[in-house]
């Protein structure tokens, strides 16, 4: 994080809505020493966020330089309008996961949006509420900033400084491009995951016992809150419906091909759909936001305290930096598997070193 | 692993098909000192598996007690039939991920299947081939064993001993129940993941840049091989088509409700589908095959060698056993987040201890 930004922002920040995102922003700004005024429709929510260290309750004579609206999508436009009126000198931004709907609502009401800069941090957790807030929630995450042709440069700079202060990466996009993008990479996957999970509702105990990592991964986000998602999906239907229609066509092709799988061309249809899936998943950038691949190494360890520490101490001695690490227990076995990633260049030497030191490299 | 089983199995095992599963079984059995004879339609594949330590090439005068058929689903019945004929005293099992289709093929040909016991290990890797083989591939994984009314107890016991020797958990099921279960928890999720991934094929670079963990999880298995999956899906279409039809209906309901989201009842339709998804994902047992939940703790560490080892050394000193551990790097930040799971009872004390030792607990 840049000190310059923190200094430049060393004015009052007002956060309206003290749920997961609002409280997390508050925590991060407070750790930089910035004065954070918290407001929420629920006074007890402000108390909780204050207790957690996300800021102080807002006062009638506050003079915020920047206001971050962190309320549910359905009421985002209302709150932005109210804040712009109450604080005509401040820049107002928001964190709603749709950007066109609130903008259109403000425009339809004739609100002067010169001081409004839309925002959307691509960050979240499965659990909501201030209680789940984390000051590091935005570290390294993309944060879309939607500028308007009318947006003054200083207002845009102020919002981007805030984003940088939170450790996130500002990405300028039009509201249209933003909504289309999140429709495809976030909203449709949510629907797909939820509907797949729905099919498991009536599964036999025997069947779920066979569930492996595949179905777990596909359905993980199906645990999300319907209340929040109804608002997001409703507000972005124009970007979503088209993708859902394509998906429906593809699902129908595969179902029909499977129904009569020995008919000429049926297997080809399925193979082509799956090959397109190979191509599609390859479009996603690597975990680290780049396509560089890391080499994986798996070491078997006894399942007792100290073993993993010993392994990592030795990796430290070998001066190896781990890019990623995962510990997995095998069911019913007194052993664990440690799978970690390193830059490919060190893989061979590292395996040799670990083997020499009697580690069981799988 | 039980020594008794290894001793009882201390006869010859013949493995036909030396891909990922065949070679992994060979590696595990060799580590128990069992004589493993390898056969494959491709001599070079046998050479590779032999070089990897999965066994020795099969001889004309081998007398295997048990034969494991590890060939693609399309040719499984053919190979089982040939093996039963060539080795009338041996028990033949297989690892095909569908169980009814090969059984029906054998029955239709009038093959005497008294010595055949179907099997299916729920284990695999994203990469195939002997080169990806691991002796620990089956540790703690469910391994379905399909007995027939005619199956002699000794033949079933032999296959279950083999499964136990490989560290897996034998689960007896009928072929019908097996195929229905994997259709729901494995085959349909594969189709869903592939078709979702297909929608990303034409995504803009801007859009994929916003991709988060959700879409990555939903589409991870879309990287699987179309060639293999065509065979699996084709052979299990009776269990799959019905689930796909339900999924299609649900997808259509959501799409229609979204298209006219302000119509009376439209939001309710979507909310109900998503709530059913919540209920469905809750059916999946916890990662450790049980529903016990672990408590998560997140610690921030500097992104340099030794930090993680230091943390784990201290956890070892505190005598804490980690149930799961995940290291994540934040993009562009010189820090990592270590998220680990512990039994809930130690959570509070552990956070206090770590904080006292100056670790940054998030």
Nearest-angstrom CA–CA distance, B32 and B16: 19
Query: Is residue B214 pLDDT above 60, yes or no?
Result: yes
Q: Give one DSSP letter per residue of B46-88, joined into a string.
A: HHHHHHTTS-EE--TT---SEEEE-S-HHHHHHHHHHHHHH-T
* Res A334: pLDDT: 54
Residue in B211, B231, B313 to test binding to A, most A beta-carbons within 10 Å:
B211
Average pLDDT over residues A274-282: 96
Which candidate from B196, B309, B327 shows the least CB-CB separation from A192? Answer: B196
Query: Is residue A47 pLDDT above 60, yes or no?
Result: yes
Nearest-angstrom CA–CA distance, B317 and B295: 20
* Res B296: pLDDT: 77
For residue B70, which phi and psi values (nearest 5 degrees)? -125, 55
Give the model's confidence band at B332: pLDDT under 50 very low, under 70 low, under 90 confident, else very high.
very low
| A12 CA: distance to closest CA in chain B (Å) | 25
Q: How many CB pairs under 8 A join A and B?
A: 447
Helix (H, G, I), strand (E, B) or coil at B219: helix
Q: Give one DSSP letter per residue of B302-333, joined into a string.
A: ESSTTHHHHHHHHHHHTTPPPSEEEEEEPTTS
| Neighbouring-strand partners of residue B324 | B341
For the ranges A191-205, A269-283, B252-266, B282-296, the lowest mean pLDDT is seen at: B282-296
Residue in A119, A188, A211 to test binding to B, most B beta-carbons within 10 Å:
A211
In chain A, the residue whose alpha carbon lies closest to the alpha carbon of B270 is: A230
Q: Cβ(B29)–Cβ(B135) under 8 Å?
A: no
Q: Which of residues 28-47 of B touch A (CB under 8 A)?
A: none
Residue corresponding to tokens 């009052």: A12
In chain A, the residue whose alpha carbon lies closest to the alpha carbon of B325 is: A327
The average confidence (pLDDT) of chain B is: 88
A295 touches chain B (CB under 8 A): no
Q: Cβ(A18)–Cβ(A130) under 8 Å?
A: yes
| A289 CA: distance to closest CA in chain B (Å) | 7
Q: What pLDDT digit, counting tens, does each position of A194-233 carry?
A: 999 999 999 999 899 999 889 999 999 999 889 989 999 9
* Res B308: pLDDT: 77
Can you read off the two tokens belonging to residue B166?
């490989």
Give the model's confidence band at B314: pLDDT under 50 very low, under 70 low, under 90 confident, else very high.
confident
Question: Do residue A226 and residue B304 have CB atoms under 8 angstroms apart?
Answer: no
Give the model's confidence band at A9: pLDDT under 50 very low, under 70 low, under 90 confident, else very high.
low
Contacts of residue A209 in chain B, CB cutoff 8 Å? 142, 171, 181, 285, 289
A254 touches chain B (CB under 8 A): yes
Can you read off the two tokens belonging to residue A166?
């939170």
Which residue would you say has higher pLDDT here, A107 or A130? A107
Query: Is residue B9 pLDDT above 50, yes or no?
Result: yes
Query: Is residue B126 pLDDT above 70, yes or no?
Result: no
B184 touches chain A (CB under 8 A): yes
Nearest-angstrom CA–CA distance, A167 and B333: 8
Residue corresponding to tokens 């800069």: A117
Contacts of residue A136 in chain B, CB cutoff 8 Å? 300, 330, 335, 337, 362
Question: Do residue B206 and residue A181 have CB atoms under 8 angstroms apart?
Answer: yes
For residue A87, which phi and psi values (nearest 5 degrees)? -130, 75
Query: Is residue A336 pLDDT above 90, yes or no?
Result: no
Vertex A262, ends A260 and A264: CA angle to 5°?
A: 100
Which candidate from B211, B229, B259 shows the least CB-CB separation from A241? Answer: B259
Nearest-angstrom CA–CA distance, A26 and A348: 46
Question: Do residue B255 and residue A241 have CB atoms under 8 angstroms apart?
Answer: yes
Residue corresponding to tokens 């990466």: A169
Q: Cβ(B261)–Cβ(B246) under 8 Å?
A: no
Which candidate from A140, A203, A226 shows the least CB-CB separation from B275? Answer: A226
Domains and CATH numbers, chain B: 3-173 (3.40.50.720), 179-281 (1.10.3660.10), 295-361 (3.30.70.260)
Nearest-angstrom CA–CA distance, A263 and A267: 8
Which candidate from A123, A189, A194 shows the least CB-CB separation from B274? Answer: A194
Residue corresponding to tokens 């078709």: B195
Helices marked H in chain A: 3-8, 20-31, 43-52, 73-86, 100-108, 153-165, 175-182, 188-199, 205-209, 213-219, 226-235, 237-259, 266-281, 307-317, 347-356
B261 touches chain A (CB under 8 A): yes
B257 touches chain A (CB under 8 A): no
Give the model's confidence band at A347: pLDDT under 50 very low, under 70 low, under 90 confident, else very high.
confident
Burial class of residue A290, CB neighbours in 10 A (0-12, 13-18, 19+): exposed
Contacts of residue B273 in chain A, CB cutoff 8 Å? 194-195, 198
Can you read off the two tokens belonging to residue B91?
């028990």
Q: What pLDDT digit, counting tens, does each position of B139-192 carry?
A: 888 999 998 788 899 999 999 999 999 999 999 999 999 999 999 999 999 999
In chain A, the residue whose alpha carbon lies closest to the alpha carbon of B133 is: A362
B191 touches chain A (CB under 8 A): yes
CA B349 to chain CA centroid, nearest Å = 36
Nearest-angstrom CA–CA distance, B33 and A46: 66
The CB-side HSE value for A212 (13 A sphere, CA atoms) comes to 21
Query: Is residue B17 pLDDT above 90, yes or no?
Result: yes
Nearest-angstrom CA–CA distance, A74 and A229: 11
In chain A, the percentage of residues whose pLDDT exceeds 90 is: 66
A320 touches chain B (CB under 8 A): yes
* Res A2: pLDDT: 46
CA A347 to chain CA centroid, nearest Å = 31
Residue in B144, B163, B197, B261 to test binding to A, most A beta-carbons within 10 Å:
B197
Give the model's confidence band at B289: pLDDT under 50 very low, under 70 low, under 90 confident, else very high.
very low
Type and span of the H or E element at B341: strand B335-342
B204 touches chain A (CB under 8 A): yes
Q: Is this prediction's ipTM beyond 0.90?
A: no
CA B108 to chain CA centroid, nearest Å = 30
Give the model's confidence band at A300: pLDDT under 50 very low, under 70 low, under 90 confident, else very high.
confident
Phi-psi region of A224 (alpha: psi -120 to 50; beta: other; left: phi over 0): beta
* Res A150: pLDDT: 82
- List the end-to-end C-alpha distance of chain B, in Å, as a whole number: 40
Q: Cβ(A91)–Cβ(A115) under 8 Å?
A: yes
Which candidate from B206, B312, B335 shows the least CB-CB separation from A308? Answer: B312
Question: Do residue B189 and residue A196 have CB atoms under 8 angstroms apart?
Answer: yes
Which residue would you say has higher pLDDT here, A11 or A266? A266
Per DSSP bridges, beta strands A324-329 and B36-39 are: unpaired
Type and span of the H or E element at A328: strand A324-329
Q: Which of B43, B47, B38, B49 is nearest to B13 (CA)?
A: B38
A131-155 core/surface letters (b: 16 or more CB in 10 A; e: else) = eebbbbbbbbbbbbbbbbeebeeeb
Q: Which of B297, B315, B296, B295 is nearest to B307 (CA)?
A: B315
Helix (H, G, I), strand (E, B) or coil at B225: coil
Give the model's confidence band at B288: pLDDT under 50 very low, under 70 low, under 90 confident, else very high.
very low
Type and span of the H or E element at A66: strand A66-69
Nearest-angstrom CA–CA distance, B300 and B334: 11
Contacts of residue B337 in chain A, CB cutoff 8 Å? 136
For residue B97, which phi and psi values (nearest 5 degrees)? -80, 5
Nearest-angstrom CA–CA distance, A88 and B173: 70
* Res B334: pLDDT: 54
Query: Is residue B1 pLDDT above 70, yes or no?
Result: no
Q: What pLDDT digit, counting tens, does each position of A307-333 carry?
A: 777 887 788 777 776 766 776 654 444
Q: Cβ(B283)–Cβ(A201) under 8 Å?
A: yes
A131 touches chain B (CB under 8 A): no
Question: Do residue A122 and residue B212 have CB atoms under 8 angstroms apart?
Answer: yes
Nearest-angstrom CA–CA distance, A144 and A173: 6
Query: Is residue B103 pLDDT above 80, yes or no?
Result: yes
* Res B304: pLDDT: 67
B140 touches chain A (CB under 8 A): yes
Q: What pLDDT digit, counting tens, does each position of A138-195 carry?
A: 988 899 999 878 889 999 999 999 999 999 999 999 999 999 999 999 999 999 999 9
Nearest-angstrom CA–CA distance, A112 and B223: 48
Largest CA distance in chain B: 76
Average pLDDT over residues B283-309: 67
Query: Is residue A293 pLDDT above 70, yes or no?
Result: no
Which candidate from A216, A222, A254 shows the least CB-CB separation from B195? Answer: A254
Q: Cβ(B94)–Cβ(B117) under 8 Å?
A: no
B169 touches chain A (CB under 8 A): yes
Q: Cβ(B121)–Cβ(B146) under 8 Å?
A: no
Average pLDDT over residues B67-89: 96
Which candidate from A198, A218, A243 shows the least CB-CB separation from B218? Answer: A218
Query: Is residue A74 pLDDT above 60, yes or no?
Result: yes
Q: Cβ(B277)–Cβ(A194) under 8 Å?
A: yes
* Res A290: pLDDT: 36
| B48 CA: distance to closest CA in chain A (Å) | 17
* Res A291: pLDDT: 36
Question: Do residue B274 and residue A229 have CB atoms under 8 angstroms apart?
Answer: yes
Type and span of the H or E element at A146: strand A142-146
Average pLDDT over residues B96-124: 95
Which residue would you say has higher pLDDT here, A213 or B99? B99
Q: Which long-range contacts (CB under 8 A, 24 or more apart) does B252-257 make?
A: B252/A248, B254/A191, B254/A195, B254/A244, B255/A241, B255/A244, B255/A245, B255/A248
The average confidence (pLDDT) of chain A is: 88
Which residue would you say has higher pLDDT here, A7 or B172? B172
| A88 CA: distance to closest CA in chain B (Å) | 32
Per DSSP bridges, beta strands A66-69 and A13-16 are: parallel
Q: Which of residues 6-25 of B touch A (CB under 8 A)?
A: none
């Amino acid at each position: 994080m840049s000190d310059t930004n923190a200094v430049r922002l060393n004015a009052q920040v007002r956060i309206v809505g003290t749920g997961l995102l609002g409280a997390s922003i508050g925590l991060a700004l407070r750790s930089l020493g910035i004065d954070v005024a918290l407001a929420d429709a629920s006074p007890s929510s402000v108390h909780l966020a204050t207790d957690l260290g996300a800021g102080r309750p807002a006062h009638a004579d506050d003079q915020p330089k920047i206001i971050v609206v962190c309320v549910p999508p359905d009421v985002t436009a209302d709150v932005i309008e109210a804040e712009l009126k109450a604080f005509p000198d401040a820049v107002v931004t928001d964190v709603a996961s749709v950007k066109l709907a609130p903008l259109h609502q403000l425009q339809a009401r004739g609100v002067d949006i010169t001081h409004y800069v839309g925002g959307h941090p691509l960050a979240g957790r499965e659990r909501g509420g201030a209680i789940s807030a984390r000051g590091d929630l935005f570290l390294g995450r993309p944060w879309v900033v939607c500028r308007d042709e009318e947006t003054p440069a200083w207002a845009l700079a102020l919002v981007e400084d805030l984003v940088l202060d939170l450790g996130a990466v500002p990405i300028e996009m039009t509201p249209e491009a933003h909504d289309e993008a999140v429709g495809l990479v976030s909203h449709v996957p949510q629907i797909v995951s939820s509907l797949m999970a729905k099919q498991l509702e009536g599964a036999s105990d025997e069947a779920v016992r066979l569930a492996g990592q595949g179905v777990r991964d596909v359905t993980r986000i199906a645990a999300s809150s319907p209340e929040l998602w109804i608002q997001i999906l409703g507000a972005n239907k124009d970007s979503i419906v088209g993708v859902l229609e394509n998906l429906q066509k593809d699902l129908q092709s595969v179902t029909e091909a499977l129904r009569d799988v020995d008919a000429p061309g049926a297997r080809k249809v399925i193979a082509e759909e799956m090959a397109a899936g190979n191509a599609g998943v390859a479009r996603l950038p690597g975990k680290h936001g780049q396509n560089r691949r890391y080499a994986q190494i798996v070491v078997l360890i006894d399942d007792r305290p100290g073993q993993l520490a010993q392994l990592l101490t030795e990796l430290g001695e070998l001066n190896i930096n781990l890019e990623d690490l995962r510990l997995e227990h095998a069911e019913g076995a007194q052993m664990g598997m440690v799978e970690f990633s390193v830059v490919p260049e060190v893989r061979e030497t590292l395996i040799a070193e670990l083997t020499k030191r009697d580690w069981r490299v799988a």
